[in-house]
Amino acid sequence: MEFKAIVDVKARDAADCAVVGVYEQGDLGVAARQIDAQTGGLIGKLHANGDFAGKVADVLLLPAPAGTAAARLLLVGLGPRAGFGRKQYRKALQAAAQAVGKTGAASATVYLALEDLADLDIGYRARVVAEVFCVNAYKVPDLKTAPKPKASKLHRVSVATDTARAARAATDGLTAGEAIGSGIALARDLGNLPPNVCTPTYLGNRALQLAKEWPSIKAKAIGEAGIRALKMGAFLAVTQGSEQPPRLIVCEYRGAKRSVAPICLVGKGITFDSGGISLKDPPAMDEMKFDMCGAATVLGALRAVAELKLPINLVVVIASCENMPSGTAVKPADIVTTMSGQTVEILNTDAEGRLVLCDAITYARRFKPAAVIDVATLTGACIIALGHHFSGLMSNDDALAAELAAAGVRADDRAWTLPIGDEYVEQLKSNFADIANVGGREGGACTAASFLWKFAKDLNWAHLDIAGTAWLSGSQKGSTGRPVPLLVDFLINRAGAK
């Protein structure tokens, strides 16, 4: 989809659809006032007649009245002017993108960025426009044999601004939003594929393909022999019950001098998690194809960074395998030696994510990273704690945690800080090894993160538990692409700070 910024405060752009905002109580937005004046008070009459109340995300499509250049006029409710902010703006845009996509419009000009949004500059407003329209255009890569529904004709979206300077800032915002949208689409595609397609080998090949598409990325996919040579005993324990070979996927993006320490994103890539010998209950086990969404999101973030050509160095490390039950599978009470040399007693084979991640975090040390952020669908306990609204955020660095939390707020992809510490490590004591891989039900998300903390000592490290945010269940089942927006916002701001 093509995005551009234009200077057109009066809704005169000859697009197929003009998108204008209306507040409640008949309070018209900037462009709506202009159109109302041009059409003899049409919008005001619609409100007075009760045909359009202006509630958040209300939409009303009208044939363009005389005096406007657009072929269609879409009114979008903004809610009360006094409460208009980040959430309402995004909701209004989501409603607009869905409504325009259902029409025959090939182009649309969005005037909502002209509205007064305190502390949200035009670049941010434009970024959200591009991101929302990209996300709305996404189609699940299904394998249905029925004829596919016709795709939306919409291929160009413009954002109206009031000055040439604002148009330049909006152009930068649109570029960022489009890159984030592309990263989300990649993450969703990978997450939505069936596990017999998206195997560790497939995931590794997709990373190699990404490197071919973007010359700034170098990638390699290390097989089982290489993983064994690295002495990743915890990673190998998880994969030993599956016939699918594992992959350690390593991607490097260089956008800054080699002397600049990279940010390292570590992704959990369990392409199917049966629970192993500690077998999961059958209901919703099909959703365990989403257990590689941590890997998918770090690849999505990498793609966005390459598209934006950010002046930053980034390393992505993914530990990918299946967790399956078989005669060769790891058993409860088995003890393995990790890449770090620490030993782990495996009390529950369904707590496998922390096993592959601890070795991946140790591997990341060789890059001397400025920060390590692991992303994983790690614990059901995080869903109990935070529901499906916030990702869990744990860190041994308060400043890094604050950066990530702030990025989540800006990106509307929020994370909530949960504690880690020696108190939780106490729950992981083992009579037979340095540490156990589970510590009881109490504080499950915190004990899992504290397990990883043991392997991240002296690193600037953070952990994002996305078990509650990476996918949706029920009739809307599918990957969400979270937390690609959070990660890319964090990296954009890190790049700007250099």
Q: Which two structure tokens, joined as six digits, stand for 289?
A: 């194809």
Omega of the bond leading into 483 within 30 degrees of 0 (cis): yes
Residues 137 and 275 reside in one and the same domain = no
Q: Which two structure tokens, joined as six digits, stand for 207?
A: 């990373």
Residues 303 and 425 reside in one and the same domain = yes
Task: Report pLDDT for 384.
Answer: 96
Mean of per-residue pLDDT scores for the chain: 95
Burial class (CB in 10 A: 0-12, 13-18, 19+), 403: buried
Burial class (CB in 10 A: 0-12, 13-18, 19+), 216: middle
**Gap between the Cα atoms of 423 and 280, Å rounded:** 28
Tell me the pLDDT tens digit for each residue of 462-483: 999 999 999 999 999 999 999 9
177 assigned to some structural domain: no
Banded pLDDT at 498 (limits 50, 70, 90): very low
Name the residue type at position 416: W
Tell me what percent of the residues of the chain surpass a pLDDT of 70.
100
Contact of 327 with 238, CB cutoff 8 Å: no
Checking if the pLDDT of 97 tops 90, the result is: yes
Angle, alpha carbons 61-136-90 (nearest 5°):
75
Q: Which two structure tokens, joined as six digits, stand for 235?
A: 């990673």
240 assigned to some structural domain: yes
Q: How many domains does the chain have?
A: 2
**Gap between the Cα atoms of 37 and 42, Å rounded:** 8
- Residue finishing a domain among 166, 197, 216: 166
Residues 172-183: what's their mean pLDDT? 98
Q: Which residues are catalytic?
A: 280, 354
Closest to 465 (Cα-Cα) out of 234, 297, 237, 271: 297
Residues 386 and 429 reside in one and the same domain = yes
Question: Could you please report the per-residue DSSP string of 364-427?
Answer: HGGG--SEEEEEE---HHHHHHHTTT-EEEEES-HHHHHHHHHHHHHTT--EEE---SHHHHHT
140 assigned to some structural domain: yes
Task: Report pLDDT for 69.
Answer: 80
At 270 the three-state DSSP class reads strand
174 assigned to some structural domain: no
H or E stretch including 435? Answer: strand 435-436
Checking if the pLDDT of 16 tops 80, the result is: yes
Residues 453 and 371 reside in one and the same domain = yes
Residues 259 and 327 reside in one and the same domain = yes
Residues 104 and 202 reside in one and the same domain = no
Tell me what percent of the residues of the chain surpass a pLDDT of 90.
86
Extended beta strands in 246-312, E state: 247-254, 263-273
Residues 330 and 427 reside in one and the same domain = yes
Checking if the pLDDT of 19 tops 60, the result is: yes
Banded pLDDT at 427 (limits 50, 70, 90): very high
172 assigned to some structural domain: no
Checking if the pLDDT of 11 tops 80, the result is: no
Tell me the pLDDT tens digit for each residue of 102-156: 999 999 999 999 998 877 899 999 999 999 999 999 999 888 988 877 878 999 9
- Residue finishing a domain among 140, 166, 192: 166
Checking if the pLDDT of 378 tops 50, the result is: yes
Q: Which CATH number characterizes residue 126's domain?
A: 3.40.220.10
**Domain hosting residue 219, numbered range:** 183-497
Q: Which CATH number characterizes residue 197's domain?
A: 3.40.630.10
Residues 345 and 374 reside in one and the same domain = yes
Tell me the pLDDT tens digit for each residue of 277-311: 999 999 999 999 999 999 999 999 999 999 999 99
Checking if the pLDDT of 27 tops 70, the result is: yes
178 assigned to some structural domain: no
Residues 144 and 216 reside in one and the same domain = no
Among 16-20, 145-149, 381-385, 442-446, the least confident range: 145-149
Residues 228 and 161 reside in one and the same domain = no
For 361-375, letters b (16+ CB in 10 Å) and e give: bbbbbebebbbbbbb
Residues 156 and 18 reside in one and the same domain = yes
Banded pLDDT at 492 (limits 50, 70, 90): very high
Banded pLDDT at 227 (limits 50, 70, 90): very high
Q: Which two structure tokens, joined as six digits, stand for 381?
A: 């306990």
Tell me the pLDDT tens digit for each residue of 339-361: 999 999 999 999 999 999 999 99
363 assigned to some structural domain: yes
314 φ/ψ angles, rounded to the nearest 5 degrees: -135, 135
For 430-449, letters b (16+ CB in 10 Å) and e give: beebbbbbbbeeebbbbbbb
Residues 238 and 108 reside in one and the same domain = no
**Gap between the Cα atoms of 142 and 123, Å rounded:** 35
Contact of 135 with 412, CB cutoff 8 Å: no
Task: Report pLDDT for 10.
Answer: 79
Contact of 400 with 311, CB cutoff 8 Å: no
Paired with 346 in beta bridges are 334
Tell me the pLDDT tens digit for each residue of 67-86: 778 889 999 999 999 889 99
171 assigned to some structural domain: no
Task: Report pLDDT for 497.
Answer: 57
Extended beta strands in 192-312, E state: 217-222, 247-254, 263-273
Task: Report pLDDT for 39.
Answer: 82
